[in-house]
Chain A
Amino acid sequence: MPSESASRPVISCRGLTKTYDLGAEKVRALRDVTFDIARGELVAVMGASGSGKSTLANLLGALDTPTSGRLEIDGREISGMSSDALARLRSEEIGFVFQQFNLLPRMTALENVMLPLLYSSRGRAGGAEIARERLEQVGLGHRLDHKPTQLSGGQQQRVAIARALINDPPIVIADEPTGALDTRTSYEVMDLLGGLHARGLTVVLITHEPDIAAYAERVLRFRDGALVEDLRQRPRCAVDSGVAQ
């Protein structure tokens, strides 16, 4: 399976269309979108608000199914999947990072990171140890027992990234991960996501900020629900961001 999956795109969209039925009018949020994302790519999805990038993020994150077209995530077609099957796919294949972090305020950093294990088929055995490793990985080994309110925004987002990694997913979907952070912290978070990419994870970065998209090696630009540009670029690296300061 590794050799086969290495050659196959980790995400494959063919004629992907999503239409929302808002009573009188139908809104076509995505129109006939086709692209592949190879394993290990760091891809930025860009566009103004209403361009369809959030809809795409929801589909790539298996939170929703397309109206028509095909979407394969790690070789699994998600159209027609049951709610339970989608949940399982999210648990096994996808790590989410959100703009608002979405940490549970009553839980410590460690407990927040462990939360996905509650819904994972591999269970919670040894979970605390794995969660501790993940937090060390994002540089928060000394903040295990802190509640989110005791952490800075950047630290909270790093906890959220550790949480996204707990189940070893092949794909991380980061939806405006720096939207609630200042510039300096944004770069720190992007360095971290860049580091995941460097370790072979596929990272899909949803953003409207060009200097955040600059970290990606490929930019998919959307307008009015359509893919209008698929650009490969030389990514900005961690050293560059230090220079930018």
Chain B
Amino acid sequence: MISSALFEEAIATLRLNALRSALTAIGVIAGVASIVVLGAANGGANKKIHEQLEAMGANSLVTNAIKAEDVGERGPVTFLTDEDAAAIGDHVSGIKYISKEIWTHVTLVAGSKSWTTGSYGVESSFADVFDLEFSEGRFFDEDEVRSSAKVVVLGVTVAEKLFGDESPIDRTLRMGGVPVRVIGVRKKFGFVGGQDHDNVVYVPITMSRSRLPKPQRASPREIDYVNLKVLSGRDRTAVKDEILAALRERKHIKDGEQDRFRVFDASQYVELMNATHSTLSWLLAATAAISLVVGGVGIMNIMLVSVSERTREIGLRRAIGARERDILAQFLAEAIMLCAAAGCIGLALGVAGGYVVSRASDWPLVISAQSVALALVASVGVGIVFGYLPARRAATMDPIDALRRE
């Protein structure tokens, strides 16, 4: 018999022992709060990772050569060239955008200020490969690349270092002695994949080659990276294999010999993040489970005390017509109410905790309906599981013995 009267009575009984009830409920409160924080952290991190993946350019692949010494082999230097990039573009299916990249360090000078940073020499399609966004201005176009235009797009950090609060658009700065005009500033992006994407500059690859100081190169046609975006819906792994196969053929790498190239998938980085993140999640989940179990044992303990204290009451109730299941329901209702109240408090604390975590970690605060539901289901579940034994004991008491108890 589950009726509202039953729950009203359970609440009245619990309020009578308010302090005891509250102390008993701490374990469940902690357990539920951990579940909610866990859910919030999980949701927040997932959202953050997803955002980063989006921002890094979904479906993008980066190909580069691996130095022989890095794979512990001797042999001729392997490097990528313009022709390799062209071959990938021509022969590998499923590519939407492709952009070559050479990388160098430059010192930028604007007025009295100077700043040394990394410079990407890329094609105009680079912006499409990684879905670049700009807070001011634009990226360079194909004509500017073809004509080796002396233009530059700045990362926000660089723009701030050189121009402070002023707009750098159309200002001229000197890169390694070459005067270049600023045509755009990339939107603040942050530190992703071990790289600060705000402390860089982008110039046309042609300009970089002809004008900027270059590191030792094996060939004037050498490039550092081939960046490409796979058509959506295409299997990135298949495209990756095609690229590697094409390069092996071009470089005459025999079967059984190791690849001298690597194709990096941004989603691998996300998977790595997810893996670290899920280890943490499991740890937190285990903590939540342990505190729920410990809390549940506390509930069971206090319910056993309650049953023992109220033996005469149980006897009386049986005498005036309560069936075993009525007594079972009464004590179960009490345990459930206690746990549900604890669950609500834990939920509130968990939301507060989730807010703190999200502030501390710069993740968005995500309190999903699932985690709220899980918290409440878990607390009621603990009430049922750990309240059952004491309630059963109360229900199966012999009414005569129970009435006789002092």
Contact = CB atoms under 8 A, between A and B. Distances in A.
B324 interface: yes
A152 B321 CA distance: 26
B400 A116 contact: no
Contacts of B16: 106
Interface in A94-152: 96, 98, 100, 102, 104, 106, 115-116, 118-120, 124
B245 interface: no
Contacts of A119: 317, 320-323, 326
Given A118-B5, A119-B326, A106 B12 contact: yes
7 contacts: A63-B399, A83-B323, A87-B323, A90-B319, A118-B5, A119-B322, A119-B326
A83 B399 CA distance: 11
Nearest to B320: A116
Contacts of A91: 320-321
Given A106-B12, A106-B16, A124 B5 contact: yes
Contacts of A115: 317, 320
Contacts of A100: 312
Nearest to A98: B403
A61 B321 CA distance: 11
A87 B318 contact: yes
B330 to A, nearest CB: 9
Interface string B312-337: 11011111111111100000000000
Interface in B148-167: none
A218 interface: no
Given A63-B319, A87-B323, A106 B13 contact: yes
A115 B317 CA distance: 8
Nearest to B310: A104
A84 interface: yes
A88 B319 CA distance: 10
Interface string B290-322: 000000000000000000000011011111111
A148 to B, nearest CB: 12
B321 A120 contact: yes
A163 interface: yes
Interface of A: 58, 61, 63-64, 83-84, 87-88, 90-92, 96, 98, 100, 102, 104, 106, 115-116, 118-120, 124, 163, 167
A102 B312 contact: yes
A87 to B, nearest CB: 4
Nearest to B315: A102
Interface in B324-361: 324-326
Given A102-B403, A104-B313, A118-B326, 17 more contacts: A63-B319, A63-B400, A63-B403, A64-B400, A90-B318, A90-B319, A90-B321, A91-B320, A98-B316, A100-B312, A102-B319, A106-B13, A115-B320, A119-B320, A120-B321, A124-B5, A167-B321
A2 B318 CA distance: 29
A186 B170 CA distance: 108
Interface of B: 5, 12-13, 16, 312-313, 315-326, 399-400, 403
Majority DSSP secondary structure for residues of B touching A = helix
B321 A88 contact: yes
A58 B323 contact: no
Given A58-B400, A63-B400, A98-B403, A87 B316 contact: no
Contacts of A90: 318-321
Contacts of B324: 83-84, 87
Contacts of A106: 12-13, 16
Nearest to A118: B5
B35 to A, nearest CB: 33
Contacts of B12: 106
Nearest to A175: B403
Please list the 4 inter-chain residue pairs (A to B) with the smallest Cβ-Cβ separation, ordered nearest first. Answer: A91-B321, A119-B321, A116-B320, A87-B323
Contacts of B321: 87-88, 90-92, 116, 119-120, 167
Contacts of A64: 400
Contacts of B323: 83-84, 87-88, 119
Nearest to A58: B400
Contacts of B317: 115, 119
Nearest to A93: B321
A160 to B, nearest CB: 10
Nearest to B325: A84
A84 B395 CA distance: 12
A70 B172 CA distance: 113
Contacts of B320: 90-91, 96, 115-116, 119, 163
A84 B324 CA distance: 7
Contacts of A61: 319
A166 to B, nearest CB: 9
B326 to A, nearest CB: 6
A167 B324 CA distance: 20
